[in-house]
Amino acid sequence: MAARQFPSLFISHGSPMLALDTSHPAHPFLRGLGQSLGKPQAILILSAHWETPTPRVTGAPHPGTIHDFYGFPAPLYDLRYPAPGNHTLAQRVGGLLCPPAAVDLLRGLDHGAWVPLLLMYPQHDVPVLQLSLQTSQGPAHHLKIGEALKPLREQGVLIVGSGGATHNLREYFHPAGDNQPYEDFAAWLQTTLVSGDRAALLDYRRRAPQAARNHPTEEHFLPLFAALGAGGPKARRLHASFDRTLAMDSYIFEE
């Protein structure tokens, strides 16, 4: 039987506390998202929190749970996401890229990967691989990576970009009192994605409202381009909410 084709996703993962904060609207959204999508053969996730000069993909049989944050409540550090890896799939992923991605046998899953997946697939019974970002190479590079990964969807692999629709941590911790710039950017993003204007998206630093304020650095926005490249032509927003200055919007890219 042929594997079911899965879409690709972009998820705003927000604070690590999302794993425990049932009061935030994004928490129940992610809880229901895995149920609505169904169980894939495997998950390939690109998180804002793994950056390397050239692409690397996890290949450990049992990738560890990385608590790459500090100053949070103790229960957060007790959480684990012991999903299996898949070395054979890691080699396949690496071979789709040019030059091929190196398989990393030591790297685990950072919070940009395990926090949303803990909510989406709490049984941690789906193999998970993580692919690194090359932040200095920008949006077009990550769009091409997504396009190269697209055949995996036909093999039942769910491709996920995990970052943030907006990501200004300085104003998150020291609010300026005006959330309009973030709301305007999120609205522009929705309009541009739904209309399929890839040229505008690739040029978002010039065309989007206050882009540099919404993304002082690009690592949280680049997973969007990988998901966009890997997905079908139709973009649809699945969720919209805010955590202070962080837009928690999530998108699906389907046929």
Give yes or no for residue 31 having a pLDDT over 70. yes
Res. 176: pLDDT tops 80:
no
In this prediction, residues 49-77 reach a mean pLDDT of 98
What pLDDT was estimated at residue 177? 74
The CATH class of the 8-173+187-242 domain is alpha beta
Q: Where are the beta strands (DSSP E) in the chain?
A: 8-12, 42-51, 56-58, 102-104, 128-133, 157-163, 234-239, 242-243, 246-247, 250-254
pLDDT of residue 1: 54
CA distance 218 to 59: 26
Domain ranges of the chain: 8-173+187-242
Q: Rounded mean pLDDT of 52-61?
A: 98
pLDDT tens readout for residues 112-160: 999 999 999 999 999 999 999 999 999 999 999 999 999 999 999 999 9
pLDDT in tens, 71-119: 999 999 999 999 999 999 999 999 999 999 999 999 999 999 999 999 9
Q: What pLDDT, on a 0 to 100 scale, did the predictor assign at position 49?
A: 98
